[in-house]
Amino acid sequence: MGRIILFNKPFGVLSQFTDRGTPEARATLSDYINVPQVYPAGRLDRDSEGLLILTDDGALQARIASPRHKTPKTYLVQVEGEPDAESLDRLRAGVVLNDGPTRPAEARRIAPPRLWPRDPPVRFRKSVADSWLEIIITEGRNRQVRRMTAAVGYPTLRLVRWRIGAWELGDLAPGAWREVA
């Protein structure tokens, strides 16, 4: 097995080393990681935070990123509203999205986790409650968790990937990384 780097991707950072998308500069992995020949195993949306694994091992990269290997990915998700048992059951059964049904997920309400402040902060509205979920999926479609929570009526406000397989974010600060292999 090659090198494995755990990175806590901050909000607003692209999950790639270069930005060819827009004329204005956006933060990329190269702003945080100067390790040659490592590449992200999967992606994490620009507006999502948390664990991103980088490796120089192509087989490991494919195993983590490919949905056929069913690597579990755990997300801490702040949603608008307070999901009821029926909504959680729908997530657990799998939700039909515009690109087809998702695999069943593990989903449960949790107490607000102890996380770093997000920059910029999540919008706050006095008139609308929010709550936190832990959602575990074994695929990784584009913006899947966000689309799943929206499909059951609870839009995502903040999304933090906490774990991929056996690797966990732990006390890694936003923008920090550590090598584990």
Q: List pLDDT tens digits, range 113-154.
A: 999 999 888 877 777 789 999 999 999 888 999 999 999 999
- Residues 83, 140 within the same domain: yes
User: Which residue is catalytic, options 45, 84, 119, 171?
Assistant: 45
Question: What's the CATH code of the domain at 81?
Answer: 3.30.70.1560
Stretch 7-21: mean pLDDT: 90
- Residues 40-71 have pLDDT tens digits of 998 899 999 999 999 999 999 988 888 788 89
Measured CA angle at 119 (ends 33, 140), to 5 deg: 60
Instruction: Give how many domains the chain has, as a whole number.
Output: 2
pLDDT of residue 181: 65
Question: What's the CATH code of the domain at 4?
Answer: 3.30.70.580
DSSP string, 32-57: T---TT-EESS---TT-EEEEEEES-
Verify whether residue 45 is a known catalytic residue.
yes
pLDDT of residue 10: 97
- Residues 37-46 have pLDDT tens digits of 999 998 899 9
